[in-house]
Structure 1
Amino acid sequence: MRCFMVQLKLWLILGLLLSVVVTTKASVSDDGYERCELTVKKWASSSIDSEVKENKNTLHDLLFFLHVPRTGGRTYFHCFLKKLYANFEECPRSYDKLRFNPRKTKCHLLSTHDDYSMMSKLPKEITSVMTILRNPIDRVFSTYEFSVEVAARFLVHPNLTSVARASRMAQRVRRKASVSTLDIWPWKYLVPWMREDLFARRDTRKLRGQSQLVTNNSYDMEDMLMPLHDYINDPIARDIVHNGATFQIAGLTNNSYFVESHKVRHCVLKYQNLGEYVLEVAKKRLDDMLYVGLTENHKESATIFANVVGAQVISQHTISSSSGDVASNNVSEQRTRVPDTKSDARAQGNKTEDSSTVNDAAARGNLTTEKLIEAYETCIASLRSTQAERRVNSLKEISPANFTKEARLHVPEVLIQEITSLNRLDVELYKYAQQIFTKQQTHMTQNDYAERANNTLSYPDYYTSPPSWRFMSLAMTGLALLFILFFVNVRRRTSKVKL
């Protein structure tokens, strides 16, 4: 009996200790959530501007193109923005190593994969922001495919037998290119990760003596490349790929300039329900943007861009080119003097640069929205052909993998649902962007209708004419009536004489 009582006491003590441990863990966990909630709420409240921009539809001096990866932004940059802005008007950039000088007066275009935190380095009052969004599921597919495609380019070279050699080659590529894909967020993380995986699987196949693979599912080819289901569940993908558009537009990527971004990201990734605060901030950012395009609505997006953004850029160039004629004349007059000192030579060089600037502006002065859209359509046809050819060449080394719309049909529905769940913030943000897109269409249609109406009523209206014109109009009308009466009276008299 005594032994039983001792055992009972021991069990009670053990139970109390366990309850204390569990309670302590729970309190620590709750405390962690409360601290995270406070951190995220504080960031969100400070990030949302309470004032509504009344002039958000007006293009300011600086256009910031927030390029969300795999949305077709490269096409917009080369086929729209490069036709609207001259090289000297672009901000000095190298994406993740951007050095922006707001005092550079000729800097009017900034196009980068940097997130919204870049606005902390820009003069907010003179900056307009634009972006393009894509269906989140398609964007995840495209991100996976592009990661594989770029990484596979290293397999083309037979001498690259290790990751170390591949890294050295990547450094040489960086030195040759002004901006390399391997320097751009998020590819500077995703491509090396995928490249190492491709090398490891290739080495494993060599050890097995395995040469060819027979499969009809390019997204589940484990012996050749990382399967899609492994890719989406990897911590790297969870950190960078999933809900990437929301985090980028909110300014909370792992490439953010915001000091508090790391803490906020950590809390949101740990407690998913806190993501709602980030989503609301991202929605407000979209509300304040000059233009929001949709990858899936290609033609409609291009039309809206040309009429909303392009038309304003063209208008600005028209105004500047008219004032540039005077500057051009001044340059030509001063060019006759030969510089005889180093300072004069530098001044002469600056004048020559100004002259070319004026000429470029004058050339763009003939551009119209209709011509811009025509040039865009021609440009994208050429660009897509080049990209398709490059993709085919890159994927030869991982044949029979072939990423097409038909190949995506072999992906199980369960996996599609998992991707959707992992990107729930992006799904909601995309729905919101669709609403904004509809409003943009309506706004553009209304402006077109008003412009047509103004053109139709462009003749002088009697009730809005100056008094002097009214008097002249009445006098001319009176004289005309007197002349008609006189003519009729004469005819009557003449007819009586004849009878």
Structure 2
Amino acid sequence: MDPTLKLLAFLILALANIRPIKSDFSHCEKVVKNWAFSSLQQRVKEDKHTLRDLLFFLHVPRTGGRTYFHCFLKRLYANAQECPRSYDKLRFDPRKQECRLLTTHDDYSMMSKLPKEKTSVVTILRNPVDRIFSTYEFSIEVAARFLVHPNLTSATKMVGRLRPGATGVSTLDIWPWKYLVPWMREDLFARRDARKRMGSIDIKRNNPYNMEEMVMPLQEYINDPRAHELVHNGETFQVAGLTNNSYFAESHEVRCCVQKHKILGEHILEVAKKRLDDMLYVGLTEDHRESATMFANLVGAQVISQALTDNSSMESAANSKSEQQGSSHAESLPDNDDNQDSTSDHKADEIGSTKDLEEKKETMTVGKLMEAYEGCMSSLRKTQSRRRKSSLKRISPANFSKEDRSRVSEVVIQQIRSLNHLDLELYKYAQEIFAKQHKHVVEKLSSMEAESMFNNLGGITMWKFFSSAMCIVVLLALLFLFVNARRRMSKVKI
């Protein structure tokens, strides 16, 4: 073929390939911008610092939310006030259900199902690099529990037999672990089978994050398409409402466009920032102690106050819920038995008596809440630590620790940062919000202290006035008696 014709054919093919790329970007840009614009137009609440009727705890995985739920929220809300647990999909009608607390790994799109004007949202964010490490470690930790089985088939069959009649919530039912754990479970069994075939092998023990004979190396994990879909920029997508568990119809297309064209992520980031701005509370995993104190004062104090003001109405609501729960909850569950709500949880809800409800409300204070939190957190961490050690023994010497993290190469760390660029920006913004919250709490507490001091000073002033008045009265009485006595003495002398 003539060289000129070859060049012409090449240029035609090149142009044909460029057009779809440009067309795809234009389409994606339009889709993402339209979604972001409509999301940013939503009206912001007038006073975001005021607790509404329903508290929605948007639990971002691996941020310490489990501790907040068990050590804060379970002490503030009675069983009867918790919404039916919805780990994989909504299992109740939020507009009809009279509950006060919803805790879930669902993303912000859940708000489309809730009464917005009556709902407050709280969440916790974590340094993205640390969250990726923690997600990787937890995926492997839970998957390693299945290594007690002789093979993957046995483990899978056992799970299938247990889940229909399970009395508790399985990690395999919770997003995103229902995707990540089976992936790691399959990988662990494959590597164990490979070790058996190879016989005795020399395992390098210096870096558990790159111990391919035992577990999937961290770098391989972060580059897998499943990690791109479920893990990277997970905080931004969850706060924006765009995970693969979203209730927004356009979420899949928007998410795919952002993953394909990195520059479009800025629009999603702006939406996520706005969501945080409108929340009642935003905590930080790294500033643990300060976050907990702030939560107790910003959220806990209002829950306690709210409970005290509507004590009588809550009593009737609790009784009504106990009577109706059997029928209403049965309707909210699907036809099959694949549900997360444990039997014990149902019974606890039904037994959640008014007495239990009132005890939590009438005896709880912010001080007592923090005291209970400290004890609960310590106990919970010990339990989690024991379970973690037990699981990781099955893949020893791949025992992860903070010290081991420091051995991960800077190349991998930078790659994690690059893959989570949206989360890094959102985390910085969350830190700014956290600082503002801190200032708000300090001003609030200072105002309360000043008011208390004023009241005390007022009491002292009144007491001083009363004491002075009494002294004057006594002195006048004594003077009157003295004058009368002198007059009588004068009359006697005459």
Instruction: Rate the CA distance shift 1:417–1:284 in 2: closer, same or farther, 3 A.
Output: same
2:413 maps to 416
| Cα distance in structure 2, aligned partners of 1:47 and 1:177 | 39
Matched, 1:450 2:462: no
2:122 maps to 130
Instruction: Give the secondary structure class of the aligned counterpart of 1:95.
Output: coil
| Cα distance in structure 2, aligned partners of 1:366 and 1:138 | 38
Q: What is the TM-score with the length of structure 1 in the denominator?
A: 0.84
Instruction: Rate the CA distance shift 1:446–1:488 in 2: closer, same or farther, 3 A.
Output: farther
In the TM superposition, what whole-angstrom CA distance separates every residue of 1:251-277 from its partner, at most 9, and x where no partner exists?
110111100001101100000010000
1:269 maps to 259
1:169 maps to 158
Instruction: Rate the CA distance shift 1:414–1:325 in 2: closer, same or farther, 3 A.
Output: closer
| Cα distance in structure 1, aligned partners of 2:124 and 2:102 | 15
1:67 maps to 59
- Would you say the 8 A contact 1:245–1:426 is kept in 2? yes
Measured after TM superposition, the shift of residue 454 of structure 1 is: 1.3
In the TM superposition, what whole-angstrom CA distance separates every residue of 1:187-235 from its partner, at most 9, and x where no partner exists?
1111111111111111111111136634211000011110011111111
1:11 maps to 3
Instruction: Rate the CA distance shift 1:460–1:65 in 2: closer, same or farther, 3 A.
Output: same
- Would you say the 8 A contact 2:95–2:115 is kept in 1? no
Q: How does 1:327-476 map to 2 (within 5 A)?
A: 357-364=353-360, 365-458=362-455
Instruction: Rate the CA distance shift 1:11–1:54 in 2: closer, same or farther, 3 A.
Output: same
1:305 maps to 295
Matched, 1:142 2:139: no
Instruction: Give the secondary structure class of the aligned counterpart of 2:99.
Output: coil
Highest RCO, 1 vs 2 (Cα 8 Å, sep ≥ 6) = 2
Task: Give the letter aligned to residue 213 of structure 1.
Answer: I
| Cα distance in structure 2, aligned partners of 1:354 and 1:192 | 34
Q: How does 1:278-317 map to 2 (within 5 A)?
A: 278-317=268-307
Instruction: Rate the CA distance shift 1:185–1:478 in 2: closer, same or farther, 3 A.
Output: closer
Instruction: Give the secondary structure class of the aligned counterpart of 2:179.
Output: helix
| Cα distance in structure 2, aligned partners of 1:31 and 1:354 | 57
Segment drifting more, 381-390 vs 52-61: 52-61
Instruction: Rate the CA distance shift 1:49–1:354 in 2: closer, same or farther, 3 A.
Output: same
- Would you say the 8 A contact 2:64–2:285 is kept in 1? yes
Matched, 1:225 2:223: no
Instruction: Give the secondary structure class of the aligned counterpart of 1:130.
Output: strand
Q: How does 1:44-193 map to 2 (within 5 A)?
A: 44-157=36-149, 159=150, 161=151, 163-175=152-164, 176-193=166-183
| Cα distance in structure 2, aligned partners of 1:327 and 1:422 | 48
| Cα distance in structure 2, aligned partners of 1:25 and 1:483 | 107
* Structure 1 residues not aligned, in runs of 5+: 1-6, 332-352, 466-472
Measured after TM superposition, the shift of residue 318 of structure 1 is: 1.3
Matched, 1:237 2:227: yes
| Cα distance in structure 1, aligned partners of 2:174 and 2:97 | 26
Instruction: Give the secondary structure class of the aligned counterpart of 2:122.
Output: strand
| Cα distance in structure 1, aligned partners of 2:456 and 2:189 | 73
| Cα distance in structure 1, aligned partners of 2:61 and 2:169 | 15
- Would you say the 8 A contact 1:67–1:73 is kept in 2? yes
Q: Which has the larger radius of gyration?
A: 1
In the TM superposition, what whole-angstrom CA distance separates every residue of 1:309-341 from its partner, at most 9, and x where no partner exists?
11111112212335668999x99xxxxxxxxxx
| Cα distance in structure 1, aligned partners of 2:371 and 2:315 | 28
Task: Give the letter aligned to residue 365 of structure 2.
Answer: T
Instruction: Give the secondary structure class of the aligned counterpart of 1:93.
Output: coil
Task: Give the letter aligned to residue 428 of structure 1.
Answer: E
| Cα distance in structure 1, aligned partners of 2:315 and 2:13 | 81
| Cα distance in structure 2, aligned partners of 1:375 and 1:482 | 53
Task: Give the letter aligned to residue 397 of structure 1.
Answer: R
- Percent sequence identity over aligned pairs: 58
Task: Give the letter aligned to residue 371 of structure 2.
Answer: E
2:35 maps to 43
Instruction: Give the secondary structure class of the aligned counterpart of 1:458.
Output: helix
| Cα distance in structure 2, aligned partners of 1:451 and 1:282 | 33
Instruction: Rate the CA distance shift 1:30–1:327 in 2: closer, same or farther, 3 A.
Output: closer
In the TM superposition, what whole-angstrom CA distance separates every residue of 1:436-458 from its partner, at most 9, and x where no partner exists?
01111100000001111111222
In the TM superposition, what whole-angstrom CA distance separates every residue of 1:290-320 from its partner, at most 9, and x where no partner exists?
0101001111011001111111111122123
| Cα distance in structure 2, aligned partners of 1:392 and 1:102 | 39
1:248 maps to 238
Task: Give the letter aligned to residue 281 of structure 1.
Answer: V
| Cα distance in structure 2, aligned partners of 1:67 and 1:461 | 46
Measured after TM superposition, the shift of residue 169 of structure 1 is: 1.8
2:330 maps to none
1:23 maps to 15
Measured after TM superposition, the shift of residue 477 of structure 1 is: 6.9
Instruction: Rate the CA distance shift 1:357–1:490 in 2: closer, same or farther, 3 A.
Output: same
| Cα distance in structure 2, aligned partners of 1:178 and 1:485 | 79
| Cα distance in structure 2, aligned partners of 1:354 and 1:185 | 27
| Cα distance in structure 2, aligned partners of 1:252 and 1:317 | 34
Instruction: Rate the CA distance shift 1:105–1:97 in 2: closer, same or farther, 3 A.
Output: closer
Task: Give the letter aligned to residue 65 of structure 1.
Answer: F
| Cα distance in structure 2, aligned partners of 1:204 and 1:17 | 50
Task: Give the letter aligned to residue 449 of structure 1.
Answer: S
Task: Give the letter aligned to residue 184 of structure 2.
Answer: M
In the TM superposition, what whole-angstrom CA distance separates every residue of 1:57-78 from its partner, at most 9, and x where no partner exists?
1111110000000001011111
Which one of the candidate residues 185, 195, 205 is aligned to 1:205? 195
Measured after TM superposition, the shift of residue 156 of structure 1 is: 2.1
* Structure 2 residues not aligned, in runs of 5+: 321-348, 490-494
Instruction: Rate the CA distance shift 1:144–1:326 in 2: closer, same or farther, 3 A.
Output: closer
Task: Give the letter aligned to residue 193 of structure 1.
Answer: W
In the TM superposition, what whole-angstrom CA distance separates every residue of 1:9-33 from its partner, at most 9, and x where no partner exists?
x222222222122122212211110
- Would you say the 8 A contact 1:59–1:290 is kept in 2? yes
Instruction: Give the secondary structure class of the aligned counterpart of 1:397.
Output: helix
2:24 maps to 32
In the TM superposition, what whole-angstrom CA distance separates every residue of 1:120-146 from its partner, at most 9, and x where no partner exists?
111111010000000100000000000
Task: Give the letter aligned to residue 402 of structure 1.
Answer: N
| Cα distance in structure 1, aligned partners of 2:401 and 2:445 | 39
Instruction: Rate the CA distance shift 1:88–1:325 in 2: closer, same or farther, 3 A.
Output: closer
| Cα distance in structure 2, aligned partners of 1:296 and 1:310 | 20
Instruction: Give the secondary structure class of the aligned counterpart of 1:226.
Output: coil
In the TM superposition, what whole-angstrom CA distance separates every residue of 1:155-205 from its partner, at most 9, and x where no partner exists?
123x3x2x3322212223423243210111111111111111111111111
Instruction: Give the secondary structure class of the aligned counterpart of 1:65.
Output: strand
Over aligned residue pairs, what C-alpha RMSD do you find? 3.0
In the TM superposition, what whole-angstrom CA distance separates every residue of 1:77-105 from its partner, at most 9, and x where no partner exists?
11111111111111112311321222445
Instruction: Rate the CA distance shift 1:357–1:485 in 2: closer, same or farther, 3 A.
Output: closer
Segment drifting more, 173-182 vs 23-32: 173-182
Instruction: Rate the CA distance shift 1:27–1:308 in 2: closer, same or farther, 3 A.
Output: same
